[in-house]
Amino acid sequence: MMRGVFAAVALSSLMTGAAGADDARPYSPVTQARLENPEPRNWLMFRRTFDANGYSPLEKIHTRNVKKLAPAWTFATGLREGHQSPPIVNDGVMFITTPHNHVIALDARTGEQLWRYERELPEDLMQLHPTNRGVALWGERVYMATVDAFLVALDARTGEVVWEQQIEDYTHGYYSTLAPLAVKGKILVGVSGGEMGIRGFVAAFDAESGELAWKTHTIPAPGEPGSDTWPGDTWKTGGVPVWVTGAYDPALGLTYWGAGNGGPWTGDTRPGDNLYSNSTLALDVETGRIVAHHQYHWNDSWDWDEVSTPLLIDYARGGKTIHGLVHPGRNGFLWFLERAKDRIRFVDAQPFVRNDVITKLDPVTGRPDYDLSKKPAVGKPATFCPSLSGGKNWPPAVFSPKTRLLYIPANDNLCATLNPEPATYTPGQIYTGVELMIGSETIDFVLHPEAKDHIGELQAWRVDEKPQQVWEHTFKQHLWGPLLVTGGNLVFAGGTNDRAFRAFDARTGKVLWEQRTSSGVVGVPTTYEVDGVQYVAVLSGWGVDAERIQGALNAKLPKSEQVSVPQGGVLWVFALEK
């Protein structure tokens, strides 16, 4: 079913608990200046700042008093599945999103619900990833990208729909789960659906009118630079989705996005480098033109989609400052690049988890060589490390300018076997060449012997001069926790199947505090301040990939080590006890 291209009012949605226009509380408009220099008290976008560092300078909660952290209030969303949204806060007003595309506005001090928008989704919609990763703010509006591939603009004061715009046709496999990025009056989004033969892209819409400003595909069409890396018509259905919110460098006017893997999953079906799969793309924010790229690995055959946004970090090499891009990759390598107006330059890289596929990197370009015995193809199964879930999946890493350390939520000692089959393209249907069920005849996990010790790792890396791991905290099973780091020298993370949310000493990795929550924490934690009180907020709500990987691990583990994590979304907000 095709939806209207531009509708002034979304009749297929519900909005509850909204205040009328006259009695709505004051709201601080969000401007480009505020997004470029956000007040320490606020968290205005997915990673708080355009550099995607995930760092807050707030320091009232610190290493010496964090043990006094206690729940201030909670809010049950009433929904199941993976709750991955960061609580976005603008001067005391909080916005969260949930699976099935609800947007909820709350009083950030008390938890009082101000309004709730519920999108009515098409009955024939197949949700591979029933989740949402948050909103963007611009002016007096709130923006959400939806799983039926729409961009919705809401009135921040009331929750009323201002406009909605179709991003693409969901019946052809397109959907969106990321938080949009607001830049200079445009709302930028990417599309998921790489498992269903889409052709990925990043698009920008006018924040005021909803009109399309530009659209840049992640697979070049015939005649465009890089099109010769896709044989035949494979470019039409080659995937390369965009799962995670991009970063932005105001000085260069460039926005950086991670692009996913090609489809079907194994590279023998699409011989060539397959640009711009598994790459970071630098786009001109005004036009969408691809200015530069770096491809982390070519002709992917392992589902290592490099969708995570690189962190914009200036680091030192040889006594000089490099304006950098730092990317802990799903392929298990930690990449250091240089960003400039017209290029992305490879600097260096090294593995941060076990990788038995990449045998070496070109010292100038960073292009990897492969052990071809580890490269699966149709009729040629192969086992490889890290697994298809990667050394690091989508949960964001963070960087602290105080400690000069990069913190990575990693998984090690987990490998996989792929035994792909020929794939036939049908619009809107799975087009991977493997069954999307771990433990099937085409896809399975393999535990490395050292998995007896641990799989999950929270790692801290020094970024300057010669990168080096400084500390590591391990977890018996996998880690799916997005990170937050603060001026109080604390790293916050959930992501484990024991339902815990923890605070670590950012300098040593020592656990200083933890709270058992209602479900597993796969939400992005944030921190903010209202009336002089610092809060830490995170959604607890296990689901999507974390739950699926848990099921696969349970099948490999003795019954005594199997874990079942309860579902159900609850927002937890913490403050220091008085």
pLDDT in tens, 266-312: 999 999 999 999 999 999 999 999 999 999 999 999 999 999 999 99
- Average pLDDT score over residue span 226-241: 98
| Residue 578 pLDDT class (50, 70, 90 cuts) | confident
Q: Does the pLDDT of residue 10 top 70, yes or no?
A: no
Q: Does the pLDDT of residue 359 top 60, yes or no?
A: yes
Q: Does the pLDDT of residue 11 top 70, yes or no?
A: no
pLDDT of residue 31: 98
Q: Could you check whether the bond before residue 220 is cis, i.e. omega within 30 degrees of 0?
A: no
The pLDDT tens digits for 146-197 are 999 999 999 999 999 999 999 999 999 999 999 999 999 999 999 999 999 9
% of the chain residues with pLDDT over 90: 94
Q: How far is CA 121 from the centre of its chain?
A: 23
C-alpha to C-alpha distance for 289 and 85, rounded to whole angstroms: 29
- Average pLDDT score over residue span 28-45: 98
pLDDT of residue 6: 34
Q: Mean pLDDT in the chain?
A: 95
pLDDT of residue 17: 64
pLDDT of residue 167: 98
| Residue 5 pLDDT class (50, 70, 90 cuts) | very low
| Residue 13 pLDDT class (50, 70, 90 cuts) | low
pLDDT of residue 7: 38
pLDDT of residue 286: 98
The pLDDT tens digits for 56-115 are 999 999 999 999 999 999 999 999 999 999 999 999 999 999 999 999 999 999 999 999
C-alpha to C-alpha distance for 514 and 66, rounded to whole angstroms: 9
| Residue 436 pLDDT class (50, 70, 90 cuts) | confident
CA distances from 143 to 33, 95, 162, 549 (A): 18, 10, 10, 31
The pLDDT tens digits for 472-514 are 999 999 999 999 999 999 999 999 999 999 999 999 999 999 9
Q: Does the pLDDT of residue 126 top 60, yes or no?
A: yes
Catalytically active residues, by annotation = 303
Q: Backbone phi, then psi, for 313, in 5-degree steps?
A: -130, 130
Q: E-assigned strands of 340-388?
A: 344-351, 358-361, 368-370, 382-384
pLDDT of residue 8: 36
Residue 441 contacts residue 383 (beta carbons within 8 Å): no
Q: Does the pLDDT of residue 21 top 90, yes or no?
A: no
Helix (H) or strand (E) holding 551: helix 544-556
The pLDDT tens digits for 370-416 are 999 999 999 999 999 999 999 999 999 999 999 999 999 999 999 99
Among positive and negative, which fits the CA dihedral 514, 568, 85, 217?
positive
- Average pLDDT score over residue span 440-461: 95
Burial class (CB within 10 angstroms; exposed 0-12, middle 13-18, buried 19+) of 441: exposed
How many Å is the Cα radius of gyration of the chain? 22
C-alpha to C-alpha distance for 527 and 537, rounded to whole angstroms: 6
Q: Does the pLDDT of residue 520 top 60, yes or no?
A: yes
pLDDT of residue 437: 77
Provide the whole-model pTM: 0.96
What pairing do the DSSP bridges indicate for beta strands 500-505 and 88-90? unpaired
Tokens 């913190």 locate to: 407
| Residue 18 pLDDT class (50, 70, 90 cuts) | low
Tokens 């008093």 locate to: 65
pLDDT of residue 23: 56
Q: Does the pLDDT of residue 435 top 70, yes or no?
A: yes
| Residue 566 pLDDT class (50, 70, 90 cuts) | very high
CA distances from 456 to 83, 398, 496, 497 (A): 20, 17, 8, 11
C-alpha to C-alpha distance for 218 and 419, rounded to whole angstroms: 27
C-alpha to C-alpha distance for 281 and 267, rounded to whole angstroms: 21
